[in-house]
Structure 1
């Protein structure tokens, strides 16, 4: 695990950029405080910050390797973990290759020589890496199938820079001639969706390599991207009476994934909420670590904490449990630091409690497991049941459906049946945009005076929907969430917020072998018996405690609605609005009105307000240079 940074120069003058790379590396020291350094030849310069997890004494980066007669042909810098590296190593040794380390990085390099770009098809893990081939004079970039690990890049006439964190590229901006202009379209997408969708960033000159993609670039050339992973849900009905076979395959795949995710030369713990996903991971992890530590967070306000349920689960599986309670004051104080770590804002209030529980976990372990991805793979969101409730509308002739749609628009807001009519007469491509949209068009115009009607969430969702026309309705929603909410929000916060604390987070649900089983589940076994993730729940009956098995999803709920209306955060929010230098972007008086309406209880604007507030703080850091977060330069012990 590390933070990577590198540059492929256009003019063969890499030595002149070593100092710029060295100056930018400390921006992400939190990703790898154990080691740092640089490497370069005439064309390329690589830098790294290492968090030592596997083969601690060796496997230093950047790592070079070459076949007989071409020593050090390839050099790589690598962020992530390859969980099947032992199996890969054995396969490559049988093919005649030898290794000088026992880590998980070298098999990637040897595999790249053996399989070429297809090496990514053999990797089971989370990764972002760059390989410079001195013979072919080509840089190869790759990112894991689901987008667990990030990779940013920017190209100017001086070369292509790539990094685990955008702030490193911004730091190198003057050296590479990068224009730091903001992207108006990305800003509008962020306000619309609460996150910046891939491949965009809020800076127009910096982009992200998309999840499940590789890219190649030659000196002076453009970045050419290729998708190697296209998730599908080609489910067919399970033969009557054979459902248990499916449940057994799910359980076996997940147990195998957790087993491989436990591979480390340091202590591995587990996050634990009150839900089935993290509980399943922790229960399986306990089989491999009798002294497993679990961690959770919550708030003192009733109804906004899973601490008690998580403690009960920890006791049931026999794990030692550690709890962090977050106060409103701690919450507000941490927001600027979190926005700095994020690179681009994500308007998800659960980022803050995650930050605190990660900080607490890092005092005890260096790696944690978590349950991200289960909802997208196994059908866990309540909204996935919507196609069942709207099924009768499928039998209504189109002319009548259009008439009902017009009638629904004439009904007053809040009237019983209005929402059902609107949703039932609206195609899925228009009504479902993932879990994140916080503004409708009228609300968006209220806060963004220059909003353009041709820049909206359909820019992001339409191409994804086009790939899923042959899927069932639930699978189409899952497919959309894999490419939007999961990689735009869930995995961004999972990576950035844990790495902010020099803590590696592993997500066993997001494993290619687990997905290979999950994609075969028919929709009726995802949302059967009035629940969600039905097949997964059946598979976990002998793994998770009964009190969790059918409990509804809660996650890391935050009492934002109450805090913004009350004394806890209202004054802080008002000060943030008044001090922000974003009047050229937002209608500041309208946002003040929204806060006042929220305080009076006239409307619940908490989600929309938080979206704007997060951006204002981000803007104050990265654009105005007005907010300077207190980023601790923490030294953690290497051995935990």
Structure 2
């Protein structure tokens, strides 16, 4: 039975291992498909059809020296203010999620909410934004609720988190969102959250990569391609990845903000031969459509944004926010994804997003009055989760070892390869935390749905 199930969803597993979420329309469950974002299903007289009603598309304006940044900042500030105002309309109190970053800090401060909610870990400032969030809360006069998640709580929650996700998700921040939603649900019914700002306004550090690669753009691509092949044979030393990526087109190197296992690595750990399309092949039609629709006018950074807006944002970011909040009957509202905000952001030139050595440039300018200066100037950190540390500690190492040598693991993976990843991480030979976590969460999800439920 399990082998038949594996044959059915092997392609889904192959893509999941690279994306860390399930990007396919076909789910891991036989006969069940997703209605993809921006689509509607029309049913009549026993027949149905699926139509597209919205497509996320960037239409950036041309940059020139006459572009008035102050005018753009003022326009964006007003559009954001209007969106937040409308998202605060409710018959019940609306709170706000609050990290130490710009997006949630702006929402918590500008919304007029009375309560804000933060989670953190007792693993030092690197893995906890509680103190940074507290400064924002103090400036805004918010009642600040904080939940510190212990290592054991985090582990124990994994089966429930995977159950509520429906399909496996290799993003460790989903567990933090589970606890954050639980904390907020004890005080309010609705919260504002900052999803979407990074994708719309260019907030991810990886979006700066095309600018860095311009340093070697004068070298003919055929030579860069040759250097890439040589660099791939080198040990994992500083500068190796840069040389490799410099010899690749953006369509080859970027599948989204997460790229966990490349094709070669998947072939090494999966017990059965990889038979589905590569991640690049999976996205090739999307990239081709981008090129055709925009007549080659999009820059590499804008192509990267487009991939994230269409895949990463709905597949990972919004998926976990929606399902972790629903697990606690909490409504999450996302003002940055208001249609008016999107329409403005879609037209912004790249130079209004990546500028002055920072990301999300025009956005930071538009929200600066609501935030402490140090918060507004912080680099994008994501949701810092200490799995890198915990996976090197004996208790977690042993629990993961048990999972990686289980019967379920042996059905899908070469377990000796999984253990090699784990041991190299524990011995600090490499940071394999995300690779380990992606497999780990799949196995926990599989056990929750196909082993525990069948008992």
TM value normalised by structure 1: 0.67
- 1:150-196 Cα distance to aligned partner (Å, 9 max, x none): xxxxxxxxxxxxxxxxxxxxxxxxxxxxx998422111111121100
Q: Deviations over 1:475-533 (max 9, x none)?
A: 11100001121111111100000110100111111111001111121111211011000
**2:11–2:275 CA contact under 8 A, matched in 1:** no
Relative to structure 1, is the Cα distance of residues 593 and 390 closer, same or farther in structure 2, using a 3 angstrom cutoff?
closer
The answer to whether structure 1 residue 264 and structure 2 residue 93 are counterparts is no
1:447 aligns with 2:273: no
1:408 aligned onto 2:235: no
| CA deviation after TM superposition for structure 1 residue 229, in Å | 2.5
Partner SS for 2:412: coil
Give me the whole-angstrom Cα distance separating, in 1, the residues matched to 2:193 and 2:218: 42
Bigger CA drift: 542-551 or 504-513? 542-551
Question: How big is the shift at 1:564?
Answer: 1.0
**1:223-251 superposed Cα distances (whole Å, 9 cap, x missing partner):** 33324334223322155262111111111
- How many Å separate the matches in 1 of 2:282 and 2:372? 39
Find the counterpart in structure 1 of residue 133 from structure 2: 310
* Deviation (angstroms), 1:561: 1.3
- Mapped to 2, the partners of 1:468 and 1:334 lie a distance apart of 40
Change (3 A) 1:585 1:409: closer
Alignment of 1:114-513 (within 5 A): 182-237=8-63, 240=66, 242-286=68-112, 289=113, 292-302=114-124, 303-410=126-233, 412-452=234-274, 454-469=276-291, 470=296, 471-513=298-340
Moved more, 197-206 or 358-367: 197-206
1:608 is the counterpart of 2:435: yes
- Shift, 1:214, TM fit: 1.8
| Matched residue count | 445
Aligned 8 A contact 2:266 2:274 in 1: no
Question: In the alignment, is the contact (CA less than 8 A) between 1:181 and 1:204 conserved in 2?
Answer: no
- Contact map agreement 1:181 1:205 (CA 8 A) in 2: no
Which has a greater percent of helix? 2
Please, which moves more after superposition, 267-276 or 551-560? 551-560
**Which structure exhibits the higher relative contact order, with contacts defined as CA atoms closer than 8 Å and separated by 6 or more residues?**
2
* Displacement of 1:468: 2.3
Deviation at 1:568, TM superposition (A): 4.4
SS at match of 1:207: coil
Give the superposition deviation at 1:538. Answer: 1.0
Contact preservation (8 Å) 1:341, 1:500 = yes
> Which residue of the partner structure matches residue 423 of structure 2?
596
Partner residue in 1 for 2:396? 569
Q: Is the 8 A contact 2:271 2:411 kept in 1?
A: no
C-alpha contact 2:353 2:359 (8 A) present in aligned 1: yes
Going from structure 1 to structure 2, the CA distance change for 1:558 and 1:402 (only over 3 Å counts) comes to closer
CA deviations on 1:318-352 (whole Å, 9 max, x unpaired) are 11100000001101110001111000011111111
Say yes or no: does 1:536 pair with 2:363: yes
SS in 1 for 2:368: coil
Note the 1:623-638 alignment, pairs <5 A: 623-625=450-452
Q: Is the 1:297–1:357 contact (alpha carbons within 8 Å) kept by the matching residues of 2?
A: yes
Question: Structure 1 residues 437, 451: closer, same or farther in 2, change over 3 A?
Answer: farther
The answer to which of 263-272 and 458-467 deviates more is 458-467
Larger-Rg structure: 1
Residues 239 and 511 (structure 1), Cα distance of their counterparts in 2 relative to 1, 3 Å cut: farther
The Cα of 1:425 is off from its aligned counterpart by 1.8
Give the deviation of 1:390 after TM superposition.
Answer: 0.9
* Contact 2:391–2:433 (CA under 8 A) maintained in structure 1: yes
Change (3 A) 1:331 1:402: closer
CA distance in 1, matches of 2:220, 2:372: 47
* Cα separation, 2, equivalents of 1:416 and 1:503: 44
Report the Cα offset of residue 217 of structure 1.
Answer: 2.6
Q: Distance in 1 between matches of 2:150 and 2:232?
A: 43
Displacement after TM superposition at 1:203 (Å): 1.9
**RMSD (CA atoms):** 2.1
| TM-aligned CA distance change 1:298 to 1:244, over 3 Å | same
User: How has the CA–CA distance of structure 1 residues 238 and 208 changed in structure 2, closer, same or farther, with 3 Å as cutoff?
Assistant: farther
Q: TM-score, normalised by structure 2?
A: 0.93
Where structure 2 has 5 or more consecutive residues not aligned to the other structure, the ranges are none
Inter-CA distance 252–202: structure 2 relative to 1 (3 Å threshold): same
Contact 1:248 1:539 in 2 (8 A): yes
Q: Deviations over 1:57-85 (max 9, x none)?
A: xxxxxxxxxxxxxxxxxxxxxxxxxxxxx
Q: 1:424 to 1:271 in 2, by over 3 A?
A: same
